[in-house]
Amino acid sequence: MKKLIVIFCALLMVQLAHAVIETYEFDNEEQEKLYYEIINELRCPKCQNQTIADSDAPLSRDLRYIVQQKIKAGETKRQILAYMQERYGDFVLYDPPLQPANYILWFSPLIIFLIILAVVVARVGRREVTSEEDDTDANASPSNDKGE
């Protein structure tokens, strides 16, 4: 599924075809967990569609180093993400922030679901009234399905 991205990147001569494996040391397990959490949420600014965790681009390497340094310095996830957003824009955040430009992204599914629900309830309510008045079996499809 990812083949196209890979092809694109191959065309762009970006080296990414292998997993990035580094061996950073951390003070404790929480720090290490936070490190993986953050590098898996930041997008490599130069690549097609990769996290800085997956990307082998030199920029991603640098960014991972910065994340590691900041975690060891005791910064929180929010601070580190804000730092990255300030330098590289919203583009680096795979978790789109809740701001006006993204309202449609976050709220439209719920609104659509509520609209569907309202339509269904309205139509079935109407149907229920009519079906009580006129309860003829409208089973137009004789089914020979025995599982029912």
Partner 1 sequence: MIPELGNFFLILAFINAILLGTLSFYGAHTNHKGLIQFSHRASTSIFLLMLASFVCLTISFIQNDFSVAYVASHSNTQLPIYYRISAVWGAHEGSLLLWVLILTGWIFAVSKFSKSLPDTMIARVLGVMGLIAVGFVSFTLFTSNPFERELPFMPIDGADLNPLLQDFGLIVHPPMLYMGYVGFSVVFAFAIAGLLQGELDHKWAKWSRPWTTVAWIFMTLGIALGSWWAYYELGWGGWWFWDPVENASFLPWLAGTALIHSLAATEKRGAFKSWTVLLAILTFSLSLLGTFLVRSGVLTSVHAFANDPVRGKFILVFLAIVVGASLLLYAIQSSKVRSQSNYTLVSREIALLFNNALLAVSTFVVLVGTLHPLMVEAFTDGKSSVGPPYFNLMFSVFFIPILLLMPLGQQISWKKDDLPALLKKYVWWFLSCIFLGLLLTFGLNGFSFTDIEPMAILGTILGLWVIAGTVKYIQLQSAKSQTRMAGMRKISRSYWGMILAHIGVAVTTLGVVLTSYYSIEKDIRIVIGETVEVEGLSVHFKDFKNIQGPNYISSKAIFDVSKSGDFIAELKPEKRRYNASQMVMTEAAIDPGLFRDVYIAMGEPLDNSAWAIRVYYKPFVRWIWLGAIFMALGGILAMTDKRYREKKFKKKASQEAIADGQ
- Applying CB under 8 A, the residues found at the interface with partner 1 are 1-8, 10, 15, 17-24, 36, 40-41, 43, 48-49, 51, 53-54, 89-96, 101-102, 104-106, 108-109, 112-113, 116-117, 120, 124, 127-128, 130-131, 135-141, 143-148
Do the Cβ atoms of 96 and 102 come closer than 8 Å? yes
Residue 114 Cα distances to 61, 99, 109, 126, 130, angstroms: 44, 22, 9, 18, 24
Q: Which is nearer to partner 1, 27 or 116 (CB)?
A: 116
Q: List, in order, residues 6 or more apart from 126 with CB less than 8 Å away.
A: none
Minimal distance, residue 125 CB to partner 1, in Å: 8
Residue count (the chain): 148
Minimal distance, residue 1 CB to partner 1, in Å: 4
